[in-house]
């Protein structure tokens, strides 16, 4: 199994652009599905297009597959413009959200479909189908009809069918949307393992931020047909470039304030807070401090150590999640701040009760200052 989510991002060898969207835009009548955007996807990476429904991520994927034609721009594969190439000639294969398995064919018939179009010999076909069945762990299921399979098995048939032609890029359109939560979690790790084993470039479309963070080496966050941020998962989580991204990915508490004249301090409704800023924020500017719940510490007494920011409040609500509990703390300005505490105690007993007076603290570098 794989240790740690998104661990594969370290193994970037010689970085080489495989797919390039060059100022690609797509309009459906008056509706702009994708606004002119440029995006590079590297050879061998697991790339995620993440965003709420209707953000244009699926349209982007379908343009790459050849099912939609861009209104503007070019799509390059290995430096060559593939727009003139019809879908059936493109060396990319897609795994559909509905799986789109052929109901009149067996599992083998479905998996072999792509090879049949290539006029591959019977022996080669049988060998590669067997190889694919083994890869997705469906040995012995070759003769089954599609309607005799469970949802998870169908998903694996769809994957095998898309992989058998050894595509340059495998496109996955919400591949796990139809699976239940537990199976989805297993499948995510299986997909990552598969991707590393094959070295094929995977492009996944998903609206599930957790899924994107787990499987992908890099994520493109999209909203309203635009790219909002393109970065590895940890960077998107730790260093979001916009309030929208911080809010979309994971939990966050936002504190509005004005940067002090010398920088490094922020005047807010909760008093003066110390912050670590990069150069983009100017003194006197209104900015937002984004704080992740797990970066905050909760204590009964006021911590005195060094340059910690401290804020007092009362526990308003406790949400027990198993591995951790979410505390909602009401602050002096009536706002609520979320704090996540790992339940490491033997019995998972809560350290604090509702209405307890508590102190929140965090070092300045734990928060992210956002200008927009």
Partner 1 sequence: MRASGKSGRRSWGARAVVRIPYVWLAIFFLVPFLIVLKISLSQTVIAQPPYVPVLDLAAGWAGLKDFAARLSFDGYELLVFDPLYLFSYLKSLEVAAISTAILLAIGYPIAYGIARCPPRLQPVLVMLVILPFWTSFLIRVYAWINILQRDGLLNDLLIGLHIVDAPVAWLSSDTAIYIGVIYSYLPFMVLPLYATLEKMDETLLEAAADLGCPRWKAFWLVTVSLSLPGVAAGALLCFIPVVGEFVIPDLLGGSETMMIGQTLWMEFFSNRDWPVASAIAVALLCLLLVPMLFYERLQQRALEGEH
Per rule CB under 8 A, is residue 321 in the interface with partner 1?
Answer: no
Cβ distance 291 to 247 under 8 Å? no
Q: How many helices (H) and strands (E) does the chain have?
A: 8, 20
Per rule CB under 8 A, is residue 96 in the interface with partner 1?
Answer: yes
Among 147, 307, 353, 355, binds partner 1 (CB under 8 A): 147
Least Cβ distance, residue 67 to partner 1 (angstroms) = 6
DSSP state, residue 29: T
User: Which uninterrupted H or E stretch holds 306?
Assistant: none
Q: Which is nearer to partner 1, 98 or 299 (CB)?
A: 98
Per rule CB under 8 A, is residue 88 in the interface with partner 1?
Answer: yes
Among 57, 128, 156, 161, binds partner 1 (CB under 8 A): 161
Q: Which structure tokens are listed for 159?
A: 């994957």
Q: Which is nearer to partner 1, 157 or 265 (CB)?
A: 157
Burial class of residue 321 in the structure, from the number of CB atoms within 10 Å of its CB (0-12 exposed, 13-18 middle, 19+ buried): exposed
Q: Which is nearer to partner 1, 103 or 322 (CB)?
A: 103
Q: Which is nearer to partner 1, 110 or 241 (CB)?
A: 110
Q: Name the CA dihedral angle for 27, 28, 33, 38, rounded to a multiple of 10 degrees.
A: -30
Distances (CA, A) of 201 to 121, 191, 303: 27, 12, 48
Q: In degrees, to the nearest 5, what angle opens at C-alpha 367 toward C-alphas 279 and 285?
A: 45
Q: For partner 1, which stretch binds (CB under 8 A), given 8-16, 51-59, 88-96, 330-338?
A: 88-96
Among 11, 38, 69, 98, binds partner 1 (CB under 8 A): 98
Is the C-alpha dihedral spanning 29, 31, 35, 41 positive or negative? negative
Per rule CB under 8 A, is residue 365 in the interface with partner 1?
Answer: no
Least Cβ distance, residue 207 to partner 1 (angstroms) = 19
Cβ distance 291 to 310 under 8 Å? no
Cβ distance 207 to 184 under 8 Å? no
User: x/- string (CB under 8 A) for partner 1, residues 108-137?
Assistant: -----xx--xx-------------------
Among 16, 137, 143, 145, binds partner 1 (CB under 8 A): 145
User: x/- string (CB under 8 A) for partner 1, residues 265-304?
Assistant: ----------------------------------------
Q: Which of 284, 249, 288, 25 is nearest to 275 (CA)?
A: 288
Secondary structure of residue 162 in the 3-state scheme: helix
Least Cβ distance, residue 126 to partner 1 (angstroms) = 17
Q: Which structure tokens are listed for 71?
A: 């209104």
Number of residues that bind partner 1 (CB under 8 A): 26
Phi-psi domain of 224 (left: phi exceeds 0; alpha: psi -120 through 50; beta: other): left
Q: Which is nearer to partner 1, 148 or 286 (CB)?
A: 148
Among 34, 94, 136, 331, binds partner 1 (CB under 8 A): 94
Least Cβ distance, residue 166 to partner 1 (angstroms) = 12
User: x/- string (CB under 8 A) for partner 1, residues 44-83?
Assistant: ---------------------xxx----------------
Cβ distance 326 to 319 under 8 Å? yes
Q: Which is nearer to partner 1, 21 or 99 (CB)?
A: 99
Q: In degrees, to the nearest 5, what angle opens at C-alpha 290 toward C-alphas 248 and 349?
A: 85
> Could you give the CA distance from residue 271 to residue 14 in angstroms, rounded to a whole number?
48
Q: Which is nearer to partner 1, 91 or 283 (CB)?
A: 91
What residues line the site for partner 1 (CB under 8 A)? 65-67, 86-89, 92-94, 96, 98, 100-104, 113-114, 117-118, 145, 147, 161-162, 165
């Amino acid at each position: 199994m794989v240790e740690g989510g998104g661990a594969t991002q370290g193994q970037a060898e010689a970085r080489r652009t495989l797919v390039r969207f060059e100022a690609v835009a797509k309009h459906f009548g008056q509706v702009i599905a994708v606004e002119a955007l440029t995006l590079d996807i590297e050879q061998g990476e697991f790339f995620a297009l993440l965003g709420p429904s209707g953000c244009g991520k699926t349209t982007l994927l379908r343009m790459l597959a050849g099912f939609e034609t861009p209104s503007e721009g070019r799509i390059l594969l290995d430096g060559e413009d593939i727009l003139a190439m019809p879908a059936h000639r493109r060396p990319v294969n897609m795994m559909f959200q509905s799986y789109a398995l052929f109901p009149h064919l067996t599992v083998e018939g479905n998996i072999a479909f792509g090879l049949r179009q290539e006029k591959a010999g019977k022996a080669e076909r049988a060998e590669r189908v067997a190889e694919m069945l083994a890869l997705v762990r469906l040995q012995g299921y070759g003769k089954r009809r599609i309607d005799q399979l469970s949802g998870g098995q169908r998903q694996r048939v769809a994957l095998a069918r898309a992989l058998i032609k050894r595509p340059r890029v495998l496109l996955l359109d919400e591949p796990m949307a139809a699976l239940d939560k537990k199976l989805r979690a297993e499948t995510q790790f299986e997909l990552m393992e598969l991707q590393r084993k094959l070295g094929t470039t995977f492009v996944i479309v998903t609206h599930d931020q957790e899924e994107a963070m787990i499987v992908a080496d890099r994520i493109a966050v999209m909203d309203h047909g635009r790219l909002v941020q393109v970065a590895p998962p940890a960077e998107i989580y730790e260093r979001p470039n916009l309030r929208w991204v911080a809010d979309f990915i994971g939990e966050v508490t936002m504190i509005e304030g004005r940067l002090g004249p010398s920088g490094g301090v922020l005047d807010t409704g909760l008093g003066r807070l110390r912050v670590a800023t990069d150069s983009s924020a100017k003194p006197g500017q209104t900015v937002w401090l984004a704080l992740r719940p797990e970066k905050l510490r909760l204590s009964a007494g006021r911590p005195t150590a060094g340059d910690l920011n401290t804020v007092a409040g009362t526990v308003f609500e406790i949400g027990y999640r198993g591995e951790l509990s979410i505390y909602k703390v009401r602050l002096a300005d009536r706002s609520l701040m979320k704090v996540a505490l790992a339940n490491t105690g033997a019995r998972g007993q809560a350290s604090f009760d509702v209405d307890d007076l508590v102190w929140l603290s965090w070092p300045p570098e734990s928060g992210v200052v956002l200008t927009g």
